[in-house]
Structure 1
């Protein structure tokens, strides 16, 4: 089953939600609106408190733009380079001190 939920539809469905709101509160709001697709999408987001609708949007996958929730974006191919095989990309983590201060600090 593919999702048909759009940002506009979720915005309308959560129009009377009081923020900050927990995932369960958002699900209850969608249930009152009778939008089963929004209920399913909201049940799939992390069980945390959301400060506003923008934070909710960051956790929901939408049909209209093919977005991937932020948690998945962070984990999926963080070091990928378009056009290169995964084995040809630099996946070794750098030294955070060198990255911040530069390699030749001349201490």
Structure 2
């Protein structure tokens, strides 16, 4: 299965006015003639309102090889911080609250 790259997704969305929701992003990509991989990547994002291109980049699934130019530190930072706040919380390590710590005793 082919994956979209970050550059392909952002290229298809170059004329988008922000903030924009998922439907507006899909419409803009289709009208820009984006390939199927880009449309599929945008279909997979959460139905949120995106305030800028960085929000989109953090929410899409891209080509696994698209981070080959990143240093190990940059990849680790991306893994730690995850995507847009509030998304994929189950993948983040969050410190326990004092109540949770007390209940674990």
Normalised by the length of structure 2, the TM-score is 0.65
Stretches of 4+ aligned residues off by more than 4 angstroms: 66-69
Provide the aligned C-alpha RMSD in A.
2.8
Higher helix content, 1 or 2: 2
Q: Give the TM-score of the pair, scaled to structure 1.
A: 0.64
Distance 2:98 2:56 in 1: 34
- 1:65 matched residue in structure 2: 67
Once the two structures are overlaid, the 10-residue window that deviates more, 58-67 or 30-39, is 58-67
How many corresponding residue pairs?
Answer: 83
1:2-51 Cα distance to aligned partner (Å, 9 max, x none): 41x11111111100011110100000011112222111111111111111
Of structures 1 and 2, the one with the larger relative CO (CA 8 A, separation 6+) is 2
* Counterpart residue number, 2:13: 14
Larger Rg: 1
